Amino acid sequence: DVKVTQSSRYLVKRTGEKVFLECVQDMDHENMFWYRQDPGLGLRLIYFSYDVKMKEKGDIPEGYSVSREKKERFSLILESASTNQTSMYLCASSPPTVTQYFGPGTRLTVL
Amino acid sequence: GQQLNQSPQSMFIQEGEDVSMNCTSSSIFNTWLWYKQDPGEGPVLLIALYKAGELTSNGRLTAQFGITRKDSFLNISASIPSDVGIYFCAGSSNTGNQFYFGTGTSLTVIP
């Protein structure tokens, strides 16, 4: 079974804090993705990565950065959290056959 | 980024009824995926479709890849209470391995 894990299920941070969200997959997948999910807006792609140290901007990269130092780990960084970044964050990974597998999500609240 | 039109937005049905939902795109896709998301959890892959006209089943779920390659359909037969959740479609043209997601169909099953 494919397993994608995320470091926290729930996170509460203050405006201006630096926030790290971590995602780990155990299936040796090349591709990893970060999405945010908001009511009425569906899933929106923030960043994705095809390989170690590779990253590509998605549709809404502003205010976020990512890091992929190891194949199994993809981190999302909020340099200075703002209230409009309160959301559900979903990580996904996929093999070359393009099917995406999601983690359980991190619900982030920025106060 | 592109968003897919998914309908209906929500459904309230009696246990035992069949369910149909669909997803349309303005672009041609080479892959369609259907996911189910329970509250507070990440999406779980239900069915993957890779060929136009393909019809694939997973238990009581059946999905079809539309012949025009711009749409896909999901049917659930004989619904049960645990079918409750949000169902998402996702499509990809395989370019860059990016997926675009529908806004979801919220399914409520009344016992």
Q: Do B40 and A59 touch (CB under 8 A)?
A: no
Q: Which residues contact A20 (CB under 8 A, 6 or more apart)?
A: A7, A75, A76, A77
Q: Do B33 and A43 touch (CB under 8 A)?
A: no
Model confidence pLDDT, tens digit, residues A37-47: 998 788 899 99
Residue A103 CA to residue B93 CA, distance in Å, equals 23
**Lowest-confidence segment of B4-18, B42-56, B87-101 by average pLDDT:** B87-101
Q: Do A107 and B40 touch (CB under 8 A)?
A: yes
Nearest Cα of chain B lies from the Cα of A104 at a distance, in angstroms, of 4
| The pLDDT of residue B1 | 61
Cβ neighbours of B99 in A, within 8 Å? 45, 98, 100
Kindly state the average pLDDT of the residues A77-85. 97
> At residue A105, does pLDDT exceed 70?
yes
